[in-house]
Chains A and B, each alone.
Chain A
Amino acid sequence: MASSCSQAVRQHVCKSSTILQEIVIPKKKTWSKEAVLQALASTVNRDPTASDHRLQDDPYLTPKTSSEFVRFGYRTVSGFQVTLLERFTIGACYGSLPFLRPVKTFLQTYDFSYYSVRMTTCPLYLHNIIQSQENTLSYHKRAPCLVFSFRENNNAERIFALLSEPNTHSYSALIRGMVKHGAYSKAFSTYTDLLNNPLKADVNTFNALITAAPEVKEKYNEKWELILDLLKEMAEQKVKPNLLTLNAVLKALRRCGTLGKSQAFPVISEMKALSIDPSLASYNHLLGIFYKPGAPFLGQTDILQEVMNEVSGKSFTPQDPDDAQFFITAVRICLDTKDIEQAYRVHELLGVGENWRLLGNDLQQNIYYARFFSLLCMMENIDVVLKWYRDLVPSVYYPSSNIMRDLLQALDTDNRLDLIPQIWKDIKQLGHANRQKLVEDLLTLMAREKQNQEVQESFAECALDIKKMYDTGDRGKVIMSWTATSLSDLISVLLAAQRRQDAWEVLKLFKTHNRVPSEELLNKFLTCITESGEVNHAVELVQISAGFCLPETPKLIQRVQQEFQLSEQQKNILSDLEIQTFNSD
């Protein structure tokens, strides 16, 4: 922030100094009448300099990369999860009865597989039935039960067989579990068992079956017919469809190709007719039906616009697990169609009411911002890009190395290469300093043109910093390897800043890393040496060139002989080399 201000001031000063000779600094700063209110108003929105509210406000405890950010979030949550285990096993030690959850009403299961916590004592509380090898357990009561997620389907079927009188709930749970774990045809056969029993299925069962429908049939129209059959049976059994039902239908239509496109809007009108408000998940599926990733878009940009018209200004609550996909899909479509206007609208929607909750978990948040930011880099000019950069990074978003390359390209397009050293600092902080492609791009951009003096100085500092990154890093760090281009770029940058000593050291690296310097590099180097008048270096340069058996060695020899005053010894060396190269030709 401060650096961009100082840049602006510098530019302003340059402009004004061409008109006037001196700058008048005012004695007193006057504030407008609304200054206090403006200052207060600026505290209401998100503070771009602060990190996420879930993190501690301390430099040691602030994450610097996106992986750290995600990891810290998970670690906090795993701390939460461990207490659940404690509360059930050692809960008695902490005393009072309200502290312990009453055993009989404990129906939920926890999917501990991610955090690998062993819940080995819970069966003691409940029934001592079955303990699965992966340490996730299913709990139920002997009465009507709700069996949620389970890793091993066999467990569920065994428990189900043990139940004396299965009812709607248990069948529903079983079918849902089967669909969740991919046993689609089994789910349908269980459904027929259910009907034969004879029992009625409930809404959740139907939702699960509709989700399973596209998997069981191959052709589009068969899939659609199966779904229609299910819906008809639903009507016969007088089960009211809810939001999840229609969302499941839309989701299935995504798998139905062109049929999906024709049937999507009738489904939406059905929703309106049943007075079910479409949630963000419905809009997500709609966008998914019409904008297939990778397919060419012709005249379909209106769909996104219409969806945004419907959706803008409204605040949504999470009703469907797929709600979280909406923003990511929408911004992907904006990226593919290069539509910056709609992207701004999508971002605005994020600011309405509670919609920020629907951005999903930390990974999804990162994906959203990655796409949004790369669209900005492509479409907007550098000032806007930098404004968003300062706003988002690193309080909300930790860019990946690809996004940093996009940012560098944007800098290049708008000719703001002087900002490269600052970006390099950010790159180091984000942990991308050892990405080869990124660093090579950086070096190429710096080496391409000659800048003015102070920019060149900063480039040289930056280049030396980069050189340190290539050297043997700490153990465990990815080490980059030098290429001929990157070495030549580095040398050009150093030479342009008159750092001959450093450039000389880098030249030696060619030999150590088995890379061959190019002709123009050696010529450039020779020109530099001529300016400084170091004859020894010139001779050494020729020797190096001869060492690589480069074709331009004779030309170099000629140049040195012309431009320098050589001593006897040096003349002998050069003539030897000349003969050598002549012989090898």
Chain B
Amino acid sequence: MSKNMATSLVRQTKLLSIVSSQLNSAACFRNIHCTAACLKNRAARIRVGKGDKSVTYEQAYHPHHIGHRKGWLSQHTSNLQGEDGAAERVVEDVFIRRFMYGTFHGCLADEVVIKRRGNLLVICAVMIQKLLPSKFYFLIGYTVELLSHFYKCPVQIEMQTVEEKVVYKYL
């Protein structure tokens, strides 16, 4: 009987070694993590590089600086107690930002600021003087009319132009 147990044990260890050797082959390679995971924040941050990347003020400061060194890019009241529609405002904002980016392609110097005053939607943008003023006015008329029909509210654009993108620092 002990002989039988011994042989079965030997057979089992042999089986285990065969199995573990198979497990250790290139097809399935799974090791144990011994150290803690480094959960880095990557949102809205431009990482430090060689020093040739120019970065605006908005891009240079990270999201935890909002309220301290940066303002808000989107201003509306739906985040107050008892107000609703926050999710809809976010979706609208995303659409408006993509729309502005595409319509004024290559002209945006910085992020678009969206303000809502009552029913009025004010889009504030800083543009590079890449197009002629009459072309700017055409695009402004187009954006205002299209967005106001889309969102069924009056839309106003407040535009400011700069000669070049305003660089805050180089990363």
Contact = CB atoms under 8 A, between A and B. Distances in A.
Interface of A: 56-58, 60-61, 63, 68, 71-72, 75-80, 82-83, 86-87, 94, 99
B149 A87 contact: yes
Nearest to B146: A83
B158 A56 contact: yes
B145 A61 contact: no
Nearest to B152: A98
B161 interface: yes
Contact of A79 (B140, B158, B159, B161): B140
B160 A58 contact: yes
Interface string B138-159: 1111111110011000000111
B134 interface: yes
A79 B142 contact: yes
A83 B145 CA distance: 7
A526 B131 CA distance: 54
A68 B137 CA distance: 11
Given A75-B134, A99-B150, 8 more contacts: A58-B160, A61-B136, A61-B159, A63-B133, A79-B141, A79-B142, A87-B149, A94-B150
Interface residues of B, number: 22
Interface in B44-83: none
Given A75-B141, A79-B138, A82-B142, A58 B150 contact: no
Closest 6 CB pairs of A and B: A79-B141, A76-B141, A79-B142, A83-B145, A75-B137, A60-B161
Contacts of B158: 56-57
Contacts of A61: 133, 136-137, 159, 161
A80 B149 CA distance: 11
A79 B150 contact: no
Contacts of B150: 94, 99
Contacts of A82: 142
Contacts of A79: 137-145
Nearest to A54: B137
A199 B131 CA distance: 58
Contacts of A83: 142, 145-146, 149
Contacts, number: 63
26 contacts: A56-B137, A56-B140, A56-B157, A56-B158, A56-B160, A57-B158, A58-B159, A60-B161, A61-B136, A63-B133, A68-B133, A72-B134, A75-B135, A75-B137, A75-B138, A76-B137, A76-B140, A76-B141, A78-B138, A78-B141, A79-B141, A79-B145, A80-B141, A82-B142, A87-B146, A87-B149
Interface of B: 129, 133-146, 149-150, 157-161
A60 B107 CA distance: 14
Contact of A77 (B133, B141, B143, B157): B141
B5 to A, nearest CB: 75
A433 B160 CA distance: 28
Nearest to A62: B133
Contacts of A57: 158, 160
Nearest to A77: B141
Contacts of A60: 129, 133, 161
Contacts of B129: 60
A63 B159 CA distance: 15
A99 B141 contact: no
Contacts of A56: 136-137, 140, 157-160
A71 B160 contact: no
Nearest to A82: B142
Contacts of A58: 159-161
A78 B150 CA distance: 18
Contact of B149 (A63, A68, A72, A99): A99
A72 B131 CA distance: 13
Contacts of B149: 83, 87, 99
Contacts of B143: 79
A75 B133 CA distance: 10
A225 to B, nearest CB: 50
A87 B133 CA distance: 25
A24 to B, nearest CB: 45
A411 B139 CA distance: 43
A86 B143 CA distance: 12
Contact of B134 (A71, A86, A87): A71
Contacts of B141: 75-80
Nearest to A60: B161
A82 B136 CA distance: 14
Nearest to B136: A61
A89 to B, nearest CB: 13
B160 A72 contact: no
Nearest to B133: A61
A61 B162 CA distance: 11
> Most chain-A Cβ atoms within 10 A of its Cβ — which of B135, B142, B161?
B142
Most chain B Cβ neighbours within 10 Å, of A60, A63, A80: A60
B146 A72 contact: no
